[in-house]
Amino acid sequence: MLRVRCLRGGSRGAEAAHLIGAMLGRSVAGWAQRVFQSTSSAAAAQPRHAAEEEHVTESAPQECPVCSYNEWDPLEEVIVGRAENAHVPPFTVEVKANTYEKYWPFYQKHGGQSFPADHLKKAVAEIEEMCNILRHEGVVVRRPDPIDWSLEYKTPDFSSTGMYAAMPRDILIVVGNEIIEAPMAWRARFFEYRAYRPLIKEYFRKGAKWTTAPKPTMADELYDQDYPIRTVEDRHKLAAQGKFVTTEHEPCFDAADFIRAGTDLFVQRSQVTNYMGIEWMRRHLAPDYKVHIISFKDPNPMHIDATFNIIGPGLVLSNPDRPCRQIEMFKKAGWTVVKPPTPLIPDDHPLWMSSKWLSMNVLMLDEKRVMVDANESSIQKMFESLGIQTVKVNIRHANSLGGGFHCWTTDVRRRGTLQSYFH
CATH number at residue 299: 3.75.10.10
Confidence at 16, pLDDT banded by 50, 70, 90: very low
Cβ-Cβ contacts under 8 Å for 122 (sequence gap 6 or more):
397
Number of domains in the chain: 1
Partners of 211 in beta bridges: 180
β-pairing, 264-267 vs 290-293, is parallel
Calpha distance 223→217 (Å, rounded): 11
CA torsion, points 210, 212, 213, 218, in degrees to nearest 10? 160
Strand order through the sheet with 258-261: 258-261, 264-267, 290-293
Determine the pLDDT at residue 414. 98
Over the chain, what is the mean pLDDT?
Answer: 88
Confirm whether 134 is domain-assigned. Answer: yes
Under DSSP, the state recorded for 293 is: E
Determine the pLDDT at residue 11. 36
Cα-based distances in Å from 378 to 201, 301, 351, 382, 402: 41, 25, 20, 6, 21
Helix-strand-coil split of the chain, %, nearest 5? 35, 20, 45
Angle between helices 47-57 and 28-38 (to 10 degrees): 170
Confirm whether 34 is domain-assigned. Answer: no
Highest mean pLDDT out of 14-23, 44-53, 162-171: 162-171
β-pairing, 172-175 vs 178-181, is antiparallel
Backbone conformation region of residue 220, classed left if phi is above 0, alpha if psi is from -120 to 50, else beta = alpha
Determine the pLDDT at residue 236. 77
Calpha distance 362→268 (Å, rounded): 19
Confirm whether 304 is domain-assigned. Answer: yes
Confirm whether 23 is domain-assigned. Answer: no
User: For the chain, what is the radius of gyration of the CA atoms?
Assistant: 22
Output the CA angle 244-163-344, nearest 5 degrees.
70
- Domain that residue 361 falls in: 75-414
Are the CB atoms for 87 and 149 separated by under 8 Å?
A: yes
Confidence at 4, pLDDT banded by 50, 70, 90: very low
Cβ-Cβ contacts under 8 Å for 61 (sequence gap 6 or more):
17, 28, 29, 206, 207
Catalytic positions are 254, 303, 407
Cα-based distances in Å from 391 to 128, 129, 225, 364, 375: 15, 12, 44, 10, 12
Determine the pLDDT at residue 229. 75
Output the CA angle 258-263-266, nearest 5 degrees.
25
pTM: 0.86
Confirm whether 201 is domain-assigned. Answer: yes
Confirm whether 65 is domain-assigned. Answer: no
Confirm whether 19 is domain-assigned. Answer: no
Determine the pLDDT at residue 38. 42
For residue 254, which of 52, 410, 381, 143 has the smallest C-alpha distance? 410
For residue 399, which of 347, 349, 364 has the smallest C-alpha distance? 349
Confirm whether 8 is domain-assigned. Answer: no
Helix (H) or strand (E) holding 110: helix 104-110
Are the CB atoms for 234 and 207 separated by under 8 Å?
A: no
pLDDT in tens, 188-209: 999 999 999 999 999 999 999 9
